[in-house]
Structures are given as C-alpha cells and as structure tokens.
Amino acid sequence: MTVTPQITVSDGRLEVRGRTVLSGVPDNITAAHAAGAGLVDGAFVGATAGEAKSHHVFTFGTHVPVPVQAVVDDAADGHLRPRRPAGDPIHPHRGPCRRRQRRRRQRAGVPGDAAAAGGAVPHGAPGQRPRPAPYLHREAGDKAVQTEQGMNSLYIHAGTNPFDTITQAVRPLRSTCRHSTTGRRKRLPSFVDWFGWCTWDAFYTDVTADGVKQGLRSLAEGGVPPRFLIIDDGWQQIGSENKEDPGVAVQEGAQFASRLTGIKENTKFQSEHDQDDTPGLKRLVEETKKGHGVKSVYVWHAMAGYWGGVKPSAAGMEHYESALAYPVQSPGVTGNQPDIVMDSLSVLGLGLVHPRKVYNFYDELHAYLAACGVDGVKVDVQNIVETLGAGHGGRVALTRAYHRALEASVARNFPDNGCISCMCHNTDMLYSAKQTAVVRASDDFYPRDPASHTVHISSVAYNTLFLGEFMQPDWDMLPGGGVPRRGEGHRRLPDLCQRQAGEPQLRPPQEAGSPRRLRAPRAAPRQAHNMNKCAGVVGVFNCQGAGWCRIVKKTRIHDEAPGTLTGSVRAEDVEGIAQAAGTDDCTGDAVVYAYRAGELVRLPRGATLPVTLKRLEYELFHVCPIRTVAPDVSFAPIGLLHMFNAGGAVEECTVRPDEDDKAVVSLRVRGCGLFGAYCSRRPVKCSLDSGDVGFGYDADTGLVTVDVPVPEKEMYRWALEIRV
C-alpha cells in the first residue's frame, strides 16, 4: 500500500491534508513521517542550523489563515486560553507555574521543553492585520549542551475530531520520548474516589495540628466528613537567610527563598504536653484516621524540598549536597509573564540537592512520612527544576533525574502510587513522568478574587485537552469552607459538598473533562463534557466578563455586566455517547436531565435543547441514550438527581426479558438519595436488593424516581430492578 503523508514540507510550504498552513517556510525546516502504510496523519518537524549552540530560534514562515479550531497556551502558569482561530498572533507558548501565595499577585513562568513551539513576529501588508510568524525555540538550559539540529523538535498531527486527534498525537511519544507514559497506562491512587479537604485555602502557611482537627470537625458537623486530607504548605521545618536590606531590589516575595532545614514536622505539629517520643505528625495522622474516618492523608512538599530548596549545610542535611543555584528563565517567558517568585530566587538563590543525591533525599523524607502513617505527597513547584539545568546537562536531563528519583521513592514508600503533581505543566515534566497519575490542571482557586473564577473554569477545561492524555486532571478546590478564615462561604458549603459527595465516596466521571467542540458564535456559553459508564454529562457556564490582561499581566474583570448568553445542547455534544449506548436496542434518541432546573426532556436524534444563562450561572445536563427494552417501551437510566454528577451513580445497566412481553431493567447503583430514570410507560414495580420499594412516576415526562437509602457499608452497590 502506498504511504500518503497528510503533513508535508516542500516548496516553502507546510501543508496539512493538501491545505497550506504556513508559507515561506525556510529550507532548513524538515518533516519526517511515522513508518507505516496508508494515510500518515502525523509528522515530526525539525530544523537544522549552521552552528552548534545551546539556544536556537527557528522561524517557520508565515501563517496562512485557515478555518481551524485551535487552543493556544500563552500563560506561563499553565492556563490554556482560547483565541480567535484566524488572524490573531500566536503568543509565547509554554508551561506553567501556578500562583500559590495569597500575597503574590503576579504569575510565574518557565521555559518549555528542549524544543517548544510558540511566539510570533507579526508582519503583513500595510493596512492589514499582522499575520503571525510561528517560531520554535530549542533551549538546552545549559550552555555546555550544544547542538546544530533538532530533527524531532515538534510533532504535528492532523484530524477532523479534536479529541481523537490529540489522543493520536500523544501516541508517538511513547516510542520517540521513551520516558513518557500516557495516563491510560497509569495506576490512579484510591483517593480519587473520595471527597477530600485541603488545608491551603483555610490556613495558607499558618496551618497547625489543632487547625487540621478543627477543620475536620467543622466539615463533619456540616454533614460532609472528608475521607481524604491534604496537609498543605506550613508543616515543614524551614528557615530564611534573607536579611531585610533596603539596597536589595527584591524584597517583596523574599519569603519564597525560605529553605528546608529538616525533613520532620515543625513545632506547630508538636505539643508541649506530650510525654512520649511519638512524632506529632504521626499522632495527628492517627487521630484523623481513627477519630475522623479519614482514609488517606497526603502532605505537601516542593520538588526542591521547599520553595527555596534545601538549606546548604543544614544540620543533618549535609549528605544531600545542597548548593545554591540561581534560576535562569527563558527570555520569552519573562517578557510574557514576570513572576515575583522567580525574581526572588534569581537573586537569593535556591538550595538545589545534587541530582546524584536527590533520590536519597526523597526516600528519607518519604520514609519518615510513611512511618507517620502518611499515604502520599502533593509535590509542588515542579517547574522550578527546569530553570536550574546549568551545570547538570540541561533542564531536560535535570528534570528527568529528579522525576526518576521522585517516582522511585513514591513507588517504594507509597504503594498506592500516592503522588499529586502541581505547578508542572512544562513538557519536560509531562514527558518524564512515567508513573505519576494525577496532575493539578489549574492555577489555584482564589475565593477572594472574583476575576479569576470564570477564567479558572475555562482554563482547566482547555488544559485538560492535553494534560488528560498523561494524567488525571485535578480541578483544584471548591469555594466555601466551615473552617476559620472563610467568612460567609461556610454557610453554603455543606449543601455544595453534599451535592458533590452525598456519601463521602465520590462518583467521578470516567475520563478527563474536555471542552465541547465549537459550533456556535464566540459569545456563547462555555461548555465542557464528560462520560460516565452509561451516560454523559455536559456542563454549561456563562464565563463572560473576565480575562487575562497583557498590560497589567493579571486576570481582570473587563465587563461588569456581560449580559445573558443563549446556546444549545444536544446529545452529540458528548464525545463517545454512541459508544455508551453500545447496544442494538438503542434508538439514537436520548433524554436530557437538567440538574438545576430539575427538568427531563426527550430529544430525538440530532435535536437541540436551548439553554439561557445569566452572568455566572451554570447548568449541568445529564445525557442518557434511550434503549428499547420491551415492545413499545423505551428506557434510560439517569442516576442520583441531587448530585452534580448524577450518572456516576450508575455502574451497570442490563435488560432481561420477562413474561407477558415485559422486561426487567437491572441496575447496579452506588450512593444514596433520589434515583431517577426515564421510562416511556409506568413501570410495573421496582425492587431494591430484592425487596419491593415504592416509586414515583411522572406521566408527562416519563421520570421514574426511587428513594435509595444510606447504605450501612461504604462502597456498597445496590441492586435496583425496574420491571416495565
């Protein structure tokens, strides 16, 4: 069979499926295709130079506007922000450092992988909107590491389905970047199934053992006892060598140069009344598990130990061979998004554990935590490592060494693969992490910054498109909280959490949530979709009114009254909904249950359901394929109607024939509350665990409702049967 490449570089043009995307492509740009027969939809694009250097900038030609759907990562903190599809410049592209501290108001940035695409040199005919000229940076991060070519610097893949295209584009990384593993091959830690609480937004770095216990009691009293706990920044032994000197340019943010002085907990987690030698952290973990029903406890630490690394020559820490290193950022990142943390560390330095000792550091730290009953770690500030590659073979080599050590230690000390990665969207990390399965997909959630709220939703939805191929994305924290410092938010937290958790166990969707395909005008509600085992869910949000301002370099509200938005939802908005139906008895029709409105609508194949949202409003639509289960009888399971992810309660749905042309729909259900299903005629009876139960039926909509009680056992699955 003849090989037909879909992406070619020839005669000064880069063409995708016969359409010119770039013109004026220099002769030093090449394309190499994957081996195989038939259509080849992907190509590695590379470049050659006349001399060996540690930093190359290769121009790609001139962008030719074509109708394509694109997402541009122009924020160094990991946000993906949608742009106009044609005519807008392509802005500096690279990975993230999330803002962490309440006192920090700017954002952090790091360079990308050894080869990262992005940037723009606007040009065009007079009077025309400038056309972007994409270019590729190849930065080693170490002046001693030089090359004159990069043949596999950029991989391009073409397709008509944006979700399948991204998935297919990631596959070649397993062979080309031999250190990479996709998320579908990784083991998810068990905490993802449980409702959890992180101490950060309640206490920031002022967290104490008493505060943790108070927070757990507060949540339990509100009816939402967490089963997963993260003790965030504030528990470690740290010190600062910074002296307040008016002659030092960097003063604000100097707290980020604090360095780790010991691997054990600080005095805030010790009690002066204790008579034994039991570590305070161990006592706290035991109390959270025995007294509060917590199943998993994680603690925070930075990739370098702490924000400012490990203090060189600290007592008991000398064997880690920590030495001061000074971050060197990519010029494109500093111009796009300066950051107070990087500025601080660039002046005051970071105590970098030597790569040959970093496994010992992680192993001793994690072994101590495991001995205290800790089940995993939230490893933050990961992107800082790639700015410290000088003298260590470059940033890719250093990042890879650190991640190998981290994952080896996690595998040894936390058998549940207990690790959450944060501030880590740089491709160096994503391509180096073979084991880590959970990634923070966003900037922090800032409950006191209204401008960030809608941007947070949009950013995470778009980040998930790429990050979801490598790890399970984490959307950060919920607003509200019944612990100190949370103001009025605690009044609505129990209801909010109960709608997410109900019982302490969560019902997360099967896949990483993704934005819906664009098929509406730009001024339309933001939509994201996901799949459960038997149905899908579409979240619709009015996210208008705020965005990133390149002038002040922060998120700002640009429209206080953006108005009402109108759009529509259809079953086909959920990618994979046909596969969820998966049987010959599916009609192609679906029912859609609107969570906030409490309405059930039957949609014929291809039909749409209008939706109108005011500013900051949302709606969740649960999309359930309809099956013909008996002659003239249609059925679709919905789930627990009062839950955000109603369909997550349905783990299995089977149909068996019964006498008199009847049928029995057997459902395996977890959770408790009001269960809903669609049936085109009133059921004969319903039973729960073989016992008959009462049910409600709305003849106008076909909604069947059954009260599912609280199970006596956690993780219990109910056997619900509906005879129709």
Return the bridge partners of 618, or none.
Answer: 541
Three-state secondary structure call for residue 23: strand
Give the C-alpha separation, 686 to 694, whole Å.
7
Please say which residue of 500, 524, 554 terminates a domain. Answer: 500
The domain total for the chain is 3
Q: What is the pLDDT of residue 516?
A: 52
Contact present, 506 and 195 (Cβ < 8 Å) = yes
Q: Who's near 664: CB < 8 A, 6+ residues apart?
A: 655, 656, 657, 658, 721, 722, 723, 724
179 lies in the same domain as 196 = no
Contact present, 337 and 76 (Cβ < 8 Å) = yes
Which residues of the chain are modeled with pLDDT < 50?
A: 1, 36-39, 68-129, 247-251, 480-507, 518-521
**Closest listed residue to residue 679, CA positions, set 620, 629, 618, 605:** 629
230 lies in the same domain as 354 = yes
CA dihedral 362, 363, 366, 367 (to 10 degrees): -160
193 lies in the same domain as 112 = no
155 lies in the same domain as 265 = no
Please say which residue of 470, 500, 530 terminates a domain. Answer: 500
Task: Give pLDDT tens digits for 151-206.
Answer: 888 888 888 888 888 888 888 777 776 656 666 779 999 999 899 999 998 999 99
Amino acid identity, residue 269?
F
Residue 204 maps to a domain: yes
Give the C-alpha separation, 204 to 210, whole Å.
14
Tokens 């959270």 belong to: 288
User: What does the angle CA 261 – CA 266 – CA 271 come to, to the nearest 5 degrees?
Assistant: 155
Amino acid identity, residue 443?
D
**Closest listed residue to residue 619, CA positions, set 640, 646, 637:** 646
Quote the crossing angle between the two packed helices 209-221 and 280-292, to the nearest 10°: 10
pTM of the model: 0.85
Residue 505 maps to a domain: no
User: What does the angle CA 186 – CA 187 – CA 188 come to, to the nearest 5 degrees?
Assistant: 115
164 lies in the same domain as 193 = no
Give the C-alpha separation, 721 to 693, whole Å.
10
306 lies in the same domain as 443 = yes
Q: What is the pLDDT of residue 270?
A: 86
Task: Give pLDDT tens digits for 519-531.
Answer: 444 556 778 888 8
User: What does the angle CA 424 – CA 432 – CA 150 come to, to the nearest 5 degrees?
Assistant: 105
Give the C-alpha separation, 345 to 328, whole Å.
10
Q: Who's near 656: CB < 8 A, 6+ residues apart?
A: 663, 664, 666
468 lies in the same domain as 428 = yes
Residue 506 maps to a domain: no
Task: Considering only CA atoms, give the Rg of the chain.
Answer: 27
Task: Give pLDDT tens digits for 614-651.
Answer: 988 999 999 999 999 999 999 999 999 999 999 999 99
**Closest listed residue to residue 219, CA positions, set 281, 300, 294:** 294
Q: What is the pLDDT of residue 514?
A: 55
Report the 10 Å Cβ neighbour count for 683.
20
Give the C-alpha separation, 576 to 6, whole Å.
25
Residue 509 maps to a domain: no
Q: What per-residue string of b and e applies to 485-505 under the rule 16 or more CB within 10 Å gives b? A: ebeebbeebbebbbbebbbbb
User: What does the angle CA 166 – CA 167 – CA 169 come to, to the nearest 5 degrees?
Assistant: 60
Give the C-alpha separation, 593 to 535, whole Å.
11
Tokens 């059954």 belong to: 706
Q: 29-33 and 42-53: which strand pairing?
A: antiparallel
Q: 236-239 and 691-693: which strand pairing?
A: unpaired
**Closest listed residue to residue 415, CA positions, set 382, 380, 381, 367:** 367
Residue 161 maps to a domain: yes
566 lies in the same domain as 585 = yes
415 lies in the same domain as 545 = no
Give the C-alpha separation, 425 to 80, whole Å.
11
Q: What is the pLDDT of residue 6?
A: 84
Residue 508 maps to a domain: no
Please say which residue of 500, 531, 565 terminates a domain. Answer: 500
132 lies in the same domain as 197 = no
Tokens 């009001």 belong to: 674
50 lies in the same domain as 86 = yes
Q: What is the pLDDT of residue 581?
A: 66
Q: What is the pLDDT of residue 494?
A: 41
Could you write out the three-class secondary structure of 590-630?
EEEEECCCCEEEEECCCCCEEEEECCCCEEEEEEEEEEEEE
Give the C-alpha separation, 153 to 158, whole Å.
17
Three-state secondary structure call for residue 118: strand
Three-state secondary structure call for residue 235: coil
Give the H or E element holding residue 432.
helix 427-432
| φ, ψ of residue 252 in degrees (nearest 5) | -65, 135
Structure tokens of 403? 């991640």
Contact present, 635 and 624 (Cβ < 8 Å) = no
Q: What is the pLDDT of residue 215?
A: 97
The domain that holds 417 is classified in CATH as 3.20.20.70
Residue 482 maps to a domain: yes
Reading phi first (left if > 0) and then psi (alpha if -120 to 50, else beta), residue 509 is in beta
Residue 527 sits in which domain range? 514-723
CA dihedral 343, 344, 347, 348 (to 10 degrees): -160
178 lies in the same domain as 189 = no
Amino acid identity, residue 185?
R
Residue 153 maps to a domain: yes
Contact present, 567 and 540 (Cβ < 8 Å) = yes
Give the C-alpha separation, 183 to 435, whole Å.
9
Contact present, 512 and 468 (Cβ < 8 Å) = yes
Structure tokens of 219? 């949540």
- Number of helices (H), then strands (E), belonging to the chain: the values are 13, 46
